[in-house]
């Protein structure tokens, strides 16, 4: 049996930053992780055989997303990430 999980990141004008993060992480995503970007949201779907595997994948993805977000702000010359 396959277990599915989904993260949806929504925010007005979130498309730019969320899209940057999604594109940054895409090369490392295994086939079990699918990302779809919309105008104001990004949806990431995870599929695994075990709940522990799914939770580990989500944890890894979120940790990498935090790094990508901080790097994005750093490259733009913003001293701190808002709401972080």
* Contact call for residues 44 and 33 (beta carbons, < 8 A): yes
* Six token digits for residue 74: 């750093």
Dihedral (Cα; 75, 77, 81, 82), 10-degree rounding:
-130
At 2 the pLDDT is 93
Query: Into how many domains does the chain fold?
Result: 1
Residues of the chain short of pLDDT 70, as ranges, are 12-15, 78-84
pLDDT for 35 equals 87
Q: Which residues form the domain of 12? A: 3-75
| Model pLDDT, residue 75 | 78
Q: Is residue 50 part of a domain?
A: yes
pLDDT of residue 82: 56
CATH code for the domain in which residue 32 is found: 3.30.310.50
24 is a domain residue: yes
- Residue 84, domain member (yes or no): no
Evaluate whether residue 41 is within a structural domain: yes
- Domain-located, residue 83: no
pLDDT at 14: 63
Q: Is residue 44 part of a domain?
A: yes
State pTM to two decimals: 0.77
């Amino acid at each position: 049996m396959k277990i599915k999980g989904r993260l949806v990141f929504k925010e007005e004008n979130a498309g730019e930053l969320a899209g940057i993060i999604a594109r940054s992480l895409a090369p490392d995503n295994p086939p079990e992780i699918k990302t779809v970007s919309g105008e104001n949201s990004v949806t990431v779907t995870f599929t695994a055989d075990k709940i522990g595997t799914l939770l580990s994948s989500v944890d890894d993805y979120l940790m990498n997303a935090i790094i990508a977000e901080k790097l994005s702000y750093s490259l733009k010359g913003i001293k701190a990430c808002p709401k972080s």
